[in-house]
Amino acid sequence: MANFKLNSKFEPAGDQPKAIEGLVDGIKKGMRHQTLLGVTGSGKTFTAANVISQIDKPTLVIAHNKTLAAQLAQEYREFFPTNAVHYFVSYYDYYQPEAYMSVTDTYIEKEAQINQEIERLRHASTQALLTRKDVIIVATVSCIYGLGSPVEYEKVNMRIEKGKEISRADFIRSLIAIHYERTTADLKSGTFRALGNAVEIVPVSENVIYRVEFVGNVIESITKIDPISRMILEVVNIYFLFPAKHFITDDAQAKRAFQSIKDELEIRLKELAAAGKNLEAERLKRRTNYDLALIKEIGYCNGIENYSRHFSGKKPGEAPDTLLSYFPHKKDGTADFLTIIDESHVTVPQLGAMHAGDASRKQSLVEFGFRLPSAKDNRPLKFDEFEKLIGQTVYTSATPGKYEIALSKPEVGGRTVEQIIRPTGLIDPDVSIRPIIEQKKGPNAGYKGQIFDFISETEKVIKQGFRSIATTLTKKMAEDLSEYLKEKKIKAEYLHSDIGTIERIP
């Protein structure tokens, strides 16, 4: 029985049927790389949705920015309303990485502001991958950055079941062990509160409350409740509660990591002393011992991700666990999922550039005694590591890059499928170049300038039931134009980089 159920009032048209057939055939024949070369407006996303439906495997869709990823996620949700379509991007609203500039002797402390809603969506993504087969994850390059081990993440999830024998006190201790925080105030994601014989929990992956009621040392009921209205949404018999953080370690792992960090520090201090770098050695010793004291006392320190290799048990230089680690793999370790790289001419170079930038910054921190060498293993995947971890891949673009073109050649076992004719049959629009300012003389006499011209053209489009887009030079110009259009009774909104990630999602 098929896992994916495509929902659309349209049937493939134009070049879409041929493209779908070609891509599906290539995947079934085991082709690792295929390119969907489709003009803008030819419906490449709908073609990809049909391929996903027929191949019936978990799918990773990679886009080159958050806005495009949000748009794709929304489209795939409409195509697959009964399946698990999730959005996985960086959860930082603001991020200033730790850095050291030797030229000016300037150290910059890491600063970050995490968006809790995006964190919820990230947890929803990983949990869906571990519990379902009908999953589509739309991600940005965040998918190649370090994430906790899927083995540990899944191993410590709590099975909450009606009739299970467990005391309320032990239940609370179990919640704390997987990083849920107790509160007596309003509940928010990743917190719980105890009220009489009941414990109310807000999972990190859902905007609901699970109320677990006890009679003695037995779970009597599990109720799913709306957090605002307090209405009962569902009564469940069993619920699997995953950890509140992706990075999970037990006591034994923590002790091993603590000793491993101390051992590495001792070796590194000897290296710095031998090189005559006494200032760097003293700085590293002081910083690392301070971090170790915090880890021992509260289990956390600022920048703990720089010690991730010690906690994960990975070898030096070994690839970190990422979102790709959560996707299914066959017994021989090969990927058992489909990868679609959207706008590949932009996304592929972006994926390839992430590691070099991170490595350069970390090298400076290590060289001048701000971090241990193991900090360099807290990194994004190298491009060759990424290539090994993804499965069969479809690149979609109107202008594919040299990389995907080379891999999609028939002589190397690939395929390029063209999608030139649009389902609508429309051809590319004419491009006309018009003056910026008002024209009183010459062939354009009577022309009132670009704003009046844009309004005139927009009104024509609105009458047809369609929309218009205007691109400006600056953010301020976008805001001013939007405000001006509203004054003219035209519905308008501006969009630029100051708009938060969640606010961009339809």
Q: Looking at the structure, do residues 482 and 460 belong to the same domain, yes or no?
A: yes
At 315 the pLDDT is 92
Q: Is 63 part of any domain? A: no
Answer whether 24's CB lies under 8 Å from 36's CB. no
At 131 the pLDDT is 93
By the 10 Å C-beta count (0-12 exposed, 13-18 middle, 19+ buried), 285 is classed as: middle
Q: Looking at the structure, do residues 232 and 255 belong to the same domain, yes or no?
A: no
By the 10 Å C-beta count (0-12 exposed, 13-18 middle, 19+ buried), 9 is classed as: exposed
Q: Looking at the structure, do residues 204 and 235 belong to the same domain, yes or no?
A: yes
At 164 the pLDDT is 95
Amino acid found at 353: A
Q: Looking at the structure, do residues 236 and 259 belong to the same domain, yes or no?
A: no
At 21 the pLDDT is 97
Q: Looking at the structure, do residues 259 and 236 belong to the same domain, yes or no?
A: no
Q: Looking at the structure, do residues 186 and 204 belong to the same domain, yes or no?
A: yes
Residue for token pair 């290799």? 309
Question: What is the full DSSP assignment across 174-239?
Answer: HHHHTTPEE-SS---TTEEEEETTEEEEE-TT-SSEEEEEEETTEEEEEEEE-TTT--EEEEESEE
Distance of CA 155 to the CA centre of its chain: 23
What's the CATH number where 198 sits? Answer: 3.30.2060.10
At 353 the pLDDT is 94
Under DSSP, the state recorded for 305 is G
Amino acid found at 176: I
Q: Is 284 part of any domain? A: yes
At 1 the pLDDT is 66
Residue for token pair 């005694």? 369
What range defines the domain where residue 203 resides?
158-241
At 141 the pLDDT is 95
Q: Is 318 part of any domain? A: no
Max CA pair span of the chain:
91
* Domain end point (choices 218, 241, 264): 241
CA atoms in the 13 A half-sphere facing the CB of 482: 14
* Domain end point (choices 297, 331, 361): 297
Structure tokens belonging to residue 145:
């950055």
At 152 the pLDDT is 87
Strand partners for 38: 419
Q: By three-state DSSP, how is residue 135 classified?
A: strand
Phi, psi (deg, nearest 5) at residue 350: -65, -45
* Cα–Cα distance for residue pair 160/201, rounded to 1 Å: 11
Q: Is 149 part of any domain? A: no
Count of beta carbons in the 10 Å neighbourhood of residue 104: 7
At 390 the pLDDT is 95
Quick one: which of 235, 236, 242, 256 has its CA closest to 307?
Answer: 256
CA distances from 78 to 8, 73, 263 (A): 8, 9, 53
By the 10 Å C-beta count (0-12 exposed, 13-18 middle, 19+ buried), 373 is classed as: middle
* Cα–Cα distance for residue pair 177/70, rounded to 1 Å: 33
Q: Looking at the structure, do residues 205 and 257 belong to the same domain, yes or no?
A: no
Domain count, the chain: 3
* Cα–Cα distance for residue pair 192/175, rounded to 1 Å: 8
**Consecutive sets of 10 residues in the chain, 506 residues long: mean pLDDT of each?**
88 93 97 95 94 97 94 96 96 88 89 89 96 96 93 90 96 93 92 95 95 96 94 95 87 87 96 95 96 83 87 91 95 93 97 92 94 95 96 96 96 95 76 82 76 88 91 92 90 87 72
* Cα–Cα distance for residue pair 277/285, rounded to 1 Å: 12
Q: What would the pLDDT profile of 410-450 be if each residue is shown by its tens digit?
A: 999 999 999 988 777 777 778 888 888 877 777 777 778 88
Quick one: which of 303, 289, 302, 304 has its CA closest to 254?
Answer: 304
Amino acid found at 471: T
At 414 the pLDDT is 96
At 453 the pLDDT is 86
Give the list of residues 6+ apart from residue 446 with CB closer than 8 angstroms, or none.
439, 440
Q: Is 232 part of any domain? A: yes
